[in-house]
Chains A and B, each alone.
Chain A
């Protein structure tokens, strides 16, 4: 047997022809999806893909490095505002603006990572929460960022292509998502990712083996923020309009829920969690327009659950589903996945 190959097998993406087959099949499906489904589902797919990007990044931080962030909506906002402003003010081309904005988010992530060196668990949660809230406040109060009125996104040109529809955007978004997925997967299989996981598992032992905790913890924050920044920059063009109210604490919690429901410390978990919760989020918004049931839920919501009189039943149903999932699958969807995988060992991630 060729020894060189056998060692690469430990880390390679495509361990067999079957894996290649499934990967190609998936890419084909993604490529054809806009032709198979109606436009609304393309919009849904875009929404999912963006959340997949953010969840991947957040899982690198929370699942792999063992830190916590309740402020990812802040990085998401930096990505969104950064991209739009760089495009309108500096006339940056979209991809360049997106990259630059994500790098700015990463820089903020790096600085937010510094307190993480001293804080743990709940204390870190509060520090990151404060960051997320601050970003929204700063944006909301500054005319430069459009204040409370928000900002409209400019026309979207990528090279010679003018992207106007959800479908156009889909073909930009999916390759970026696939690239970032493979990148995250490569990262955790190599030296830097191993250092991340080692910090989660036993940070003192990692340090005595030569892992610089300061560097790798802040790096994990920066990478995670970069992913959120990319997600935010792309999301601006899904909405075509951004305002501070979008980037709430609820959004940060939603990102975290995707990671936990999907599976902590798992690439596949990030993807499944993000898709599932995106889907639920979109569907439950329509819950009140279901005949009869919707009316009943609205009355129920307004008379018993709501403080302000605004119906909030979708969040309650949402929360209920999350609790049920976690009750029956404490490992998240990943738990189901691991059991399936025992029978079906041919998937790349």
Chain B
């Protein structure tokens, strides 16, 4: 059984190919990184996996089940969670509530049970207590105690990124997609994030698909790397292999036009 596989994926917007015949396979337990300059199609790839976009061609398999064409919430239910490059939090909710939404799939209270929350012993009351306790563990893990009851819209950028990670973790995924989790963070926040990502792999056994621009970080924590540009695959392999590829060298090691050529 393959854990996760993308086969010949293509999608274009108004005649412009954002992804062109992309194929790769992720092994269970890996941290698999996708690198490439801005506009390469990395986020578009995530959106295809998530069911936000429907690819023009190609297929996506999760544990041998074809998932492209399914609704995003169906895909989430299979155990795939993600974070967004441009933070997509529920701004007026506090941290606890944002993470509680991450528990949505695991909770059962329907309309009638919710309305009938008459006290801590009602079904919805019991469920709220149980799941808030679970979420509290994640809040502790990510050190978000001070943000617990704050509306997240007003929190610092780095904290918001952490909360997004927390929300994804709250859904207890098997496969986690992280879209530039360290972008815009300061050095200390970055260190924390790297630490957590490793912990998520080691302790929680979650497989991670990671988009990141910070080459040091990518080379440090990835098991496998895929480099793309202009929607096409450039190279794929272990960090040391990919690092040697001339186009990757050109794009990431010092040359001015690397980012600019996107």
Contact = CB atoms under 8 A, between A and B. Distances in A.
A272 to B, nearest CB: 19
Interface in B94-121: 96-97, 100-102, 104-105, 107-111, 113-120
B164 to A, nearest CB: 8
A195 B105 CA distance: 11
Contacts of B91: 201-202
Nearest to A202: B88
Interface string B126-169: 01110011001000000000000000000000000000000110
A187 interface: yes
Contacts of A207: 51-52, 71-73, 76
B114 A204 contact: no
A211 B104 contact: yes
User: Which bracket fits the contact residues of A?
Assistant: 35 or more
A11 B131 CA distance: 12
A212 B73 contact: yes
Contacts of A195: 101, 104
Given A190-B124, A208-B72, A198 B101 contact: yes
A194 interface: yes
B128 A8 contact: yes
B90 A7 contact: no
A209 B76 contact: yes
Nearest to B96: A10
Contacts of A187: 111, 114-115
Interface string B70-99: 011101110001101000111111001100
B111 A186 contact: no
B229 interface: no
B161 to A, nearest CB: 13
A275 interface: no
B105 A212 contact: no
A334 to B, nearest CB: 13
Contact of A209 (B101, B116, B125): B101
Contact of B101 (A11, A189, A194, A213): A194
Given A208-B50, A209-B101, A211-B104, A4 B129 contact: yes
B133 A3 contact: yes
B114 A265 contact: no
- Which among B75, B77, B108, B125 has the greatest number of chain A C-beta atoms within 10 A? B125
A223 B52 CA distance: 27
B172 to A, nearest CB: 11
A223 B171 CA distance: 27
A191 interface: yes
A206 interface: yes
A204 to B, nearest CB: 6
Contact of B117 (A11, A194, A197): A11
Contact of A194 (B72, B88, B104): B104
Contacts of B107: 191
Contact of A190 (B82, B89, B128): B128
Interface SS of chain B: helix
Given A186-B116, A191-B114, A11 B125 contact: yes
Contacts of B133: 3, 7
Interface in B154-197: 167-168, 171
A338 B167 CA distance: 28
A208 B80 CA distance: 8
Q: Select the residue from A187, A208, A211, A265 with max chain B CB neighbours within 10 A.
A: A208
Contacts of A250: none
B236 to A, nearest CB: 26
A187 B128 CA distance: 12
Nearest to A205: B88
A223 B112 CA distance: 11
B109 A192 contact: yes
Contacts of B105: 209-210
A5 interface: yes
A186 B119 CA distance: 10
Contacts of A194: 93, 97, 100-101, 104
A68 B199 CA distance: 44
A204 B52 CA distance: 8
B88 A223 contact: no
A262 interface: no
A183 interface: yes
A98 B130 CA distance: 37
A202 B90 contact: yes
Contacts of A8: 120, 125, 128-129
Contacts of A11: 117, 125, 128
Contact of A191 (B71, B73, B104, B129): B104
24 contacts: A11-B125, A11-B128, A12-B120, A186-B115, A186-B124, A187-B114, A189-B114, A189-B117, A190-B113, A190-B128, A194-B93, A197-B93, A197-B97, A198-B93, A201-B92, A202-B88, A202-B90, A207-B73, A208-B76, A209-B102, A209-B104, A210-B73, A210-B77, A213-B73
Interface of A: 3-5, 7-8, 10-12, 183, 186-187, 189-195, 197-198, 201-202, 204-214, 219, 223, 265
